[in-house]
Amino acid sequence: MSAMPSYSVRNLPFDQARLDRIMDDAGVDVLIANSKHNVQYLLGGHRAQFFDYMDAMGPSRYLPLVIYPKGTPERAAFIGHRLEGWQREVTPFWTPEAQTSSAGTIDAMEKAVAYLRRSGVKTKNIAVEMSFLPVDAGGTLYNAFASSKFSDAHNVLERLRAVKLPDELDKLRTASEKVIESMLAVIAMHGPGATKQELTDALRCEEVNRGLTFEYCLIAAGASHNRAPSSQRWEHGEALSIDSGGNYHGYIGDLARMAVQGPPDEELQDLLGEIEEIQRAAFAPAKAGALGHEIYAAAEARLRRSPQHNHIHFVAHGMGLVSHEAPRLAPGAQGEHYGAKPLEAGMVISVETTITHPRRGYIKLEDTVAVTPSGFEIFGEGARGWNIAGTALTA
């Protein structure tokens, strides 16, 4: 793990005024973050080394807790696992109270309850991440504060994270660029007959070699729309869709690009051209102050004119520490909807257009777009056309 910057209650790793305002709007007195990604966000990048990609430990599981009382960071606390003590020695947490002595879910929450009672913070309205709170820990908290009102902290924390700070934008840009580099390396090294599993395994290695944590690869070849890695072979003249997420210090680079074995024919050129035009139409309205639904309106206006409109799927969603997060723009999206709200500089949006063609297969572009005061910036913009397979083999 890379060294984390040093923070204090006067130099927090998040926008305290924004968080206090959001908590006030939601009627929340004290926030308890209990998902790994939100703990990472509030602590300025900390993730438990031992539990980075697993939770189970003995008869229980890892449960980190960041306690933030509205307006009083000097009373904030972190409850962590005993194996985080070594990381604490190297880089102390900014929270004035930091306990790295828990071993499971119940004792972690018992320590949080004891701290809340001892600190004297207001607990009339408590927000927790209900989707990430184990039943046994939740029961411990609810029983301890039976007269309190509990709410879900999901929207509070998503609203806080929706606007990215400069260092977050740098990480997302880096992640996106490294994912594109990894895809191009894999495409260049594989000729006809390569299996989807072989391509996925190679992509994993390329992303790891570039300092990313490989998250997933959704991959489709030929006429098939199935995107699971398999023994299916990618043959001459066939299209390949690669949609991969690579994680850079917690931030997701999530992009999709296309490749073909041999020169693309005119039909493939036209299909990808349709997608490119829809993507560009969706980008156009993105700027601070524009309403979120303008992105969908622009894309769908171009989509309806496409001869492939019956086979096209469009979606736009926020991304950052989580691959689908605020701003939520899709109709019917869960959580707080941003379609009728102005976009803010620093918001990051994934824009995806897919053609599920009955003969030519799964054709898709996915881009990462950062909202700026006057427009937008595309992260990892390269390789948007048809990338020719096996170029490294024939060079």
Q: 275 near 365, Cβ under 8 Å?
A: yes
Per-10-residue mean pLDDT, the chain, length 395 = 70 96 98 98 96 93 98 98 97 97 98 97 98 98 98 97 97 98 98 98 98 97 98 98 97 98 97 98 97 96 96 96 93 81 97 98 98 97 96 69
At residue 36, the 3 state secondary structure works out as helix
Reading phi first (left if > 0) and then psi (alpha if -120 to 50, else beta), residue 30 is in beta
Domains contained in the chain, CATH given = 16-161 (3.40.350.10), 166-394 (3.90.230.10)
pLDDT given for residue 334 in this prediction = 72
* Two tokens, residue 326: 């605020």
Cα–Cα distance measured from residue 157 to residue 252, given in angstroms and rounded to the nearest whole number? 18
Using alpha carbons, list the distances in angstroms from residue 323 to 24, 151, 320, 330. 27, 24, 6, 14
Per-residue pLDDT at 332: 77
What pLDDT, on a 0 to 100 scale, did the predictor assign at position 1? 43
Q: What is the pLDDT of residue 79?
A: 98
Long-range CB contacts (within 8 A, 24+) of 147-150 = 148/123, 148/124, 149/124, 149/125, 150/126
For the whole model, what pTM was predicted? 0.94
- Quickly list DSSP for 369-383: EEE-SSSEEEES---
**pLDDT value at position 5?**
74
pLDDT of residue 194: 98
Pick from 376, 394, 389, 395: nearest CA to 191: 389
Give the whole-angstrom CA distance, residue 259 versus residue 256. 10
